[in-house]
Each structure stands twice: as structure tokens, then as C-alpha cells.
Amino acid sequence: MLALKQGLSLNTIKVLGGGGAAYSNVYSLDFDGVDDYVDFGDDNAFSISSYAGFTVSAWIKSSVDRKTILSKFVNSASTAEYNFIIGRSGKLEFYVYGGGSNAVYQFLSVNTPTVHDGNWHHVAVTFDKTDSSSSIYLYIDGVEYAGSSGATTYGSNGTWAASTNTTSPLLLGSVQSADYFNGNIDELAIFGSVKTGAEISSIYNSGTPTDLSGESNLVGYWRNGDTAGTSVYPTIEDYSSNGNDGTMTNMASGDIVTVVP
């Protein structure tokens, strides 16, 4: 039987395989909603076009709508890829842009439940570029919401084309110097595959984050302060094998906080 270390609860200790290494989630990032973000730069691995399927998973805590969780998007004719956001009235939304253009996109919005209630939520999105009829699925706290109806045209500016790899940087908490996230984000992961509903439910883990470092098709895994706390500032380490660290921008070491799901 596992004996808990003094000061740690069952919610912060998990014993995993591989020699009994302990996993604990102690830190998250606190975004001020003004100019804070994490910049991971541009890498081919961050592009939907690099895979047949794509998944983003994160834990968020916010009371504010119309804010960006994760983006790879610059609002121009050739550098739009995707946005994952808290939209109007706290709706969880995902946009993926066709042909690198902001003129046409696939889109899904969850009307209820909302995610700007000041509580921690696990949010995830999957995109299957081989399925044009129901490409996008959104998940809140392990529950799946219906797929989209495929390509949705923005105005009358074009027709859907496959998502392309652009030079836009991957940003956590911002999109092109706007819509800055207000609240906490923790345990961000990107996968180069479509995770199933059962796999998303396992990641949600009944409301307690779990170690994702051994997950298949892991593109990046950023623990947002873990395991070393403020000493890692300004670097947000990638706990996958790919080494795509991020840089805290317009942030201080004090934005690595002990506020976790």
C-alpha cells in the first residue's frame, strides 16, 4: 500500500508504472488577460497538416469569455491554421482554417455547458482531416459534444481546402497579440492523432490530471510549471521527447502558481 508523504493528498500523488515513478501536479500558469502568453515558436509538428488526425488537451480555469486557449493563427491570407478559444458567453469553440486562409474554416461551438464559470475544466478537441462530414469533436470534462457539419464558409470568400502548414507561431493564451487568456491553464498536450472518446475520458480521469508522457502520438506535453516551479522561468518545458519548449512572454516567475485542478 502506498504511504502518502506528509503534506500531499491522494489528489496530488499517482503511482505509475516504469519503476514506480511518482507523478504530481503542483503548478499551473496564471494569465492576466492583458498581455501574457507562452510562445512555442513555429514548428512543423504543430500543424494539423502534418497528420491525418490532431488532438489538443488542456485544463483551464477562467471567468472571462472571448479569450484564447491555444492558437496557430495570424490573420492574413496565408498564415491561418487553428484557434481553440472560450467564445462568446463562455462557449468552447474550435476553428480550423482551410488552405492557410482565414476566409474559410471548419468550426464547432458548444453552447452548453459553458467553461467561464471560474472552475477548472478539462477541454479537448479532435480534428480528423480525412472526414469532411464530421471533422471536429469537442469534449468538456470527458463528455463528447457532436461533430460539426464540415466546412463552413466565412462570408462568401472561398471554398474549403485542406489545412496547410504556415509560419504562424504556436501561442498559449493569445492569438496574434489579442484575446489574451484570463485565468489559469495547466497540462497542455498535443497529439498527432484523433484521440477516441474513451481516451479523452481517460485523460480527464474523473477530474484529476494524470501523466501523459507515455501516450501514443504525443507531439508536445507542457506541464506549465511542473516539476520545478518558479525556478524554470521563463521556460515552459516540453515533457514529450520532442524538445519544443515554450517561453513565457510578458510574464513573471510569480505567474507560475500553485493553483491546480
Taking 70 as the pLDDT cut, the residues of the chain under it are 1-21, 76-77, 132-133, 147-151, 154-157
22 part of a folded domain: no
Q: Distance (Å, rounded) from C-alpha 239 to C-alpha 213? A: 6
Number of domains in the chain: 1
72 neighbors 82 (Cβ within 8 angstroms): yes
CATH number of 217's domain: 2.60.120.200
219 part of a folded domain: yes
63 part of a folded domain: yes
43 part of a folded domain: yes
12 part of a folded domain: no
Q: How many CB atoms lie within 10 A of CB 199?
A: 18
pLDDT of residue 161: 80
pLDDT of residue 132: 63
87 part of a folded domain: yes
41 part of a folded domain: yes
Q: How many CB atoms lie within 10 A of CB 151?
A: 18
233 part of a folded domain: yes
pLDDT of residue 147: 67
Domain region containing 96: 27-257
Contacts of 22 (CB under 8 A, 6+ apart): 13, 14, 15, 16
pLDDT 10s digits, 41-99: 999 999 999 998 999 999 999 999 999 999 999 876 678 899 999 999 999 999 998 88
